[in-house]
Amino acid sequence: MAAEPPSSPLPERLIAHLDMDAFYASVELLRYPELKGLPVVIGGRREHAPRLREDGTREFAKLRDYTGRGVATTSTYAARDLGVFSAMGLMKAALRAPDAILLPTDFDRYRHYSRLFKAAVAELAPVIEDRGIDEIYIDLSAVPGIREPVGHDPLGGIRSVAREIKNSVLRATGLTCSIGITPNKLLSKIASEIDKPDGITVLLAEEIPARIWPLSVRKINGIGPKAAARLAALGIETVGQIAAAEPAWLIEQFGKSYGAWLHEASHGRDNRPVVTFSEPVSISRETTFERDLHAVHDRAELGRIFTRLCEQLAGDLERKGYQGRTIGIKLRFEGFHTVTRDLTLDEPIADAQALRRAAGSCLKRVNFDKRLRLLGVRIGNLSHPGDAPPAAKARKTARGASAEAPSGAARPETLPLF
């Protein structure tokens, strides 16, 4: 006998969004299991690494002892209960949770676990769009069994595929994640957050009014703080209020393209495909200093930091198999004024020394009259070693010199370069 058909047919597309739970913090808990359930914040420096006591137990740094202006990359759910969240200054966080444990950030380790969880998912469902270190979209439309009901549950097939994916991520990494499955990326991104941590949320179009419309407009990926503030000024706080607004009025307020998109998004409509691979536009490394540094007085320290950034960038290029021709620097001065300069070479480079030389020549085009708080190095115009050589027309060019610093012989060599 044939199984009962679902009350309405399943949509053609079934898209998942998977996001790891408290990712950096959960990776740290794998090696320090004694911290399970405690408020833990990630964002310290190397000196905040735990010390091994003689009796074999570990001594952890406490948030109350932190000084500096680092920010939390993330925190455990116990720390979130105390009001500590991503991007919060650690000293501010210490006021809310002085006894929380502070751990240094270990990006290499997080990247390793990122690769592991993505590989585990790919074995079950290969159509994956990489959205960063801890999240992916997965096109599940053609996964075997997904459209089969289980018992009386027409969504049973979807739920069991979701459970299988979560189990496989857990086996490969020891980590939990949350999954949203809906007809498109926009809704799935919202859905994956609904039952965090360790959740599965399946949501079909007919449930949009009940489950999406009551949510804050900020839950839509694409409505940032500025758009939300403008919507609030117009009396709109929830997705449902956008949905109830006239499209013509939204367009009047927000322009043709964003206004029309707001209308579509509020009705949960989104046709974007899951894009399985995209070449990165550029790769970069940057660091914010613990204290503002002076180009002359802190020259040696700046030089070391600059060299290290170039080495890290060279490491990224090697791991990912890229080289690049456009090398850029980013400087942020006290007062948050940010300056970028870049330089395009004839031939692609990838090694640390060549990066240091090219980035160093960009530095010569910057005025250092203020102290620095951030330094970054970027490489773009990427290719793979062994690709066809770049078109001959693109000769050496320099951009970003801007009006304050005309390039050419007249420009004085103002600064001592680190």
Q: Is 19 in the site for ligand TTP (CB under 6 A)?
A: yes
- Least gap, CB of 57 to ligand TTP (angstroms): 26
**Count of beta carbons in the 10 Å neighbourhood of residue 56:** 6
Cα 43 from chain centroid (whole Å): 15
Contact positions with Mg ion (CB under 5 A) in 125-184 = 134-135
Q: Does the annotation flag 21 for ligand binding?
A: no
- Which one of Mg ion, ligand TTP, none interacts with residue 289, CB within 5 to 8 A by kind? none
* Choices 16-24, 278-286, 354-362, 399-407 (CB under 6 A): range interacting with ligand TTP: 16-24
From the candidates 28, 59, 135, 404, give the one annotated as an active-site residue: 135
- Which one of Mg ion, ligand TTP, none interacts with residue 66, CB within 5 to 8 A by kind? none
Q: Is 197 in the site for ligand TTP (CB under 6 A)?
A: yes
Q: Give the DSSP per-residue string, 18-41.
A: EEETTHHHHHHHHH-GGGTTS-EE
Question: The tokens of 26 are what?
Answer: 């959960």
Q: Is 20 in the site for Mg ion (CB under 5 A)?
A: yes
Q: Is 19 in the site for Mg ion (CB under 5 A)?
A: yes
- Least gap, CB of 374 to ligand TTP (angstroms): 15
C-alpha span between 405 and 243 (Å, rounded) = 49
Choice between 19 and 298, CB closer to Mg ion = 19
Q: Give the DSSP per-residue string, 260-320.
A: HHHHHHHTT------------SEEEEEEEEEEEE-TTTTHHHHHHHHHHHHHHHHHHHHHH
Determine which residue in the list 62, 196, 371, 399 makes contact with ligand TTP, applying CB under 6 A: 196
Question: The tokens of 140 are what?
Answer: 């599940």
Following CA atoms 115, 117, 121, 123 in sequence, which dihedral angle do they give, to the nearest 10 degrees? 60
Choice between 137 and 418, CB closer to ligand TTP = 137
- Least gap, CB of 22 to Mg ion (angstroms): 7
* Cis bond before residue 197 (omega within 30° of 0): yes
Q: Is 23 in the site for Mg ion (CB under 5 A)?
A: yes
Q: Does the annotation flag 108 for ligand binding?
A: no
- Number of DSSP helices (H) and strands (E) in the chain, helices first: 12, 16
Closest CA to 417 of 373, 362, 355: 362
Which helix (H) or strand (E) segment holds residue 119: the answer is helix 107-124
Q: Is 113 in the site for ligand TTP (CB under 6 A)?
A: no
Closest CA to 351 of 390, 389, 391, 310: 310
Taking each helix axis as running N to C, give the angle between helix 299-320 and helix 352-363, from 0 to 180 degrees, rounded to the nearest 10: 130
Residues 6+ apart with CB under 8 A from 229: none
Q: Is 40 in the site for ligand TTP (CB under 6 A)?
A: no
C-alpha span between 286 and 303 (Å, rounded) = 14
- Which one of ligand TTP, Mg ion, none interacts with residue 133, CB within 5 to 8 A by kind? ligand TTP
Q: Is 24 in the site for ligand TTP (CB under 6 A)?
A: yes
Residue 47 catalytic? Answer: no
- Least gap, CB of 349 to ligand TTP (angstroms): 29
* Choices 21-29, 182-190, 258-266, 277-285 (CB under 5 A): range interacting with Mg ion: 21-29
Q: Please name every residue paired with 332 in a beta bridge, in sequence order, or none if there are none.
A: 338, 374
Q: Is 20 in the site for ligand TTP (CB under 6 A)?
A: yes
* Choices 19-27, 53-61, 121-129, 137-145 (CB under 6 A): range interacting with ligand TTP: 19-27
Choice between 38 and 133, CB closer to ligand TTP = 133
Determine which residue in the list 86, 282, 284, 340 makes contact with ligand TTP, applying CB under 6 A: 86
Choice between 98 and 197, CB closer to ligand TTP = 197
**Count of beta carbons in the 10 Å neighbourhood of residue 386:** 7
Q: Which stretches of the chain bind ligand TTP, using CB under 6 A?
A: 19-24, 73-74, 86-87, 133-134, 196-197
- Give the residue ranges of the annotated binding site: 19, 134
- Give the residue ranges of the annotated binding site for Mg(2+): 19, 134
Give catalytic residue positions: 135
Q: Which stretches of the chain bind Mg ion, using CB under 5 A?
A: 19-20, 23, 134-135
